[in-house]
Structure 1
């Protein structure tokens, strides 16, 4: 008994120590969170001065929510120290809630202030950013004559369709640079007038405009390099395509191969003569597409040749066999539903599902289809064999369930004792219940035979 009471005393001491630690944590958290609210209120004022009231709305709402919930935390702390005695459980619950509220408040304020850190830093660097925008705009204007010259030079070599994606780039870039310089001026004037939110919007606009202008100018130079690379690649693809056409003649000549060869020959014939302005990107795309289609058609033809297509008669026999096995299994299960377990029912359901899918795959009733084209025969054979296999399994499992549930008193007796007594009632009702459909009918027959 001394050991028991000593153990209980130790548990009480440990719990009291935990409660004291929780109380200290609650008090510390209250002080820290209250101070955090004061600091964040100052940060909000600074942020509004830099960004305006719009971008700082989330932080303002977070502060209001935190103040509301911290009111609950201070009220709980007051209850812990009023004149009304509290149980340890009450103190523990309140202190845990105070810690929870303070942690939530700290996390919310951290999230909202972090979201404003970058915009504030950017706003404070506004004069530096505006100066950089003007330097970049001047630098990019110096590149515009070269970009226009490049477009003119490319126009003598490539078709209008090929140049459509870059021919307007120099003009669009010039417009963007003018917009960037104008927006930079607006950003300065709005900032001087204290309209920080509008100033920051204009700052974002001018930096984005310069970035897009540089992208457009770079695209002109990149296009020239990529066009030369496409021409070089096109020559190699043309040579490869001609070799593929020669090789395709030795492949099995299916309709798919013939069609793919025709498409590739047409793509080669459409190539312009030397000296004619071209679109190397479009020509390369068409040739690659036709070349890939021919490769796939040849591979499919050779695969089909290595694996002969099932004869239509064999496919029809396979479907008929599946239908017969499915019908037999369905009839046995339907005739003894009260004895059939989940395994047999699952197999027959899956077989019937695949049989329906087979009709959908062939686009008609498989049993009524006069012909099945070569592209569908192999899959039809596979699906019909799967139906037959599942139906056979369902039949075997159903027979197992029937045999295990059938009365064991002899082939000519329903319970040995006849209709009148003992196990005869159970056997007769079990047999008829299994045939007619389950436990409910079986119980009715038991009552009838009494």
Structure 2
């Protein structure tokens, strides 16, 4: 900034007359130009200092950070706009919220089953209601996520579209927060019902009873799976490959923690006993899921074998009607050709001398008939329900027993398959199969980040029985949302002095 230090004076006339007048004036006053130098310099210096002080005061007032203090005559300071979170970051946040909410519901459902076995349906009904309300919120969040992945809503203009996408992601996070709120609100009353701190003995008896039943059942399921391998191709049993071994792994983990829970209870370490019991219950629940999957697959294969002949006849009848109406605007000839090829392939499998996959054959029949507009009634409706239910169950149980590694994409497709199963079973198979494939990919990519732990602990972390937050596998989750599912975590001082080891 340049400060003008000149002293303002009245305008004077130029020329010799002016010069003479000035000289005469100086002589009359007894002064000269040299006598005026020092006063002028002093006045100029004072002006410069005053201007510099004004500039500094103005700058200080404009950059003042003290809230609510504004200097007179100085405009208020406007804070800069906060940075806008990039869409990819919001997408990751929404995906993480979906995974956490889904895990909370699955854990709450599993622990609720143990409470119902002990107290009966009537006393646990309020918690079933809370769980169902949370499930509805999560289903809405998954529906938004599915539409988001498909590019909906489509709004003209980049800015408008980005705003709509941000609103959709905010809706997902909000719905997931509501899931957690409902479960968190029910958690204290659920703890009062279970009263594990006071009645550990009874809860242990329920868990040990289920453990013994599953242990005795493992051998029979293993023999059943061997029989399936003998009668069907590998593709027919691929959905349960390794399930018996995984069930055994969960049962070994469960027996370790049941024993530790009893030891901790005897020593008066109640919190440790509760943690071990919850870990054992989670492992027992997953072992039951894995073994039941083998039983249900065997049942589905048997029912599919019986349904294939009448379903094939029904599909051929639909094809004939469609061909008749082709001349009047019915099915295109290319679609009829595809249907003929699919049905012929199934007939060839039935008449061949090699084993075939009944569920895959029935799935081909259902797809061919559905493409021609077959309804959901009769034998074709029963076939669609059987195939859709088998595919949805296989995907759901895989996610349940591997949820420590499965992301939001697979869970979103699974939610869509579950929705379609109630309205259009023939359409449920496709998203269910895609969900299973994506979930398996997630598990392969996830690998084993807990190589330093025991094999059984690694399986428990992969299955979500332990939260996997610590090198030893972390604590087991409990009934509730994000705010309550970690209750009962050991405090560091107790863990350091605790002689009952958590495997």
TM normalised by structure 1 equals 0.38
| Structure with the higher fraction of residues in helix conformation | 1
TM-score of the superposition, structure 2-length normalised?
0.34
Structure with the larger RCO, 1 or 2 (CA within 8 Å, 6+ apart): 2
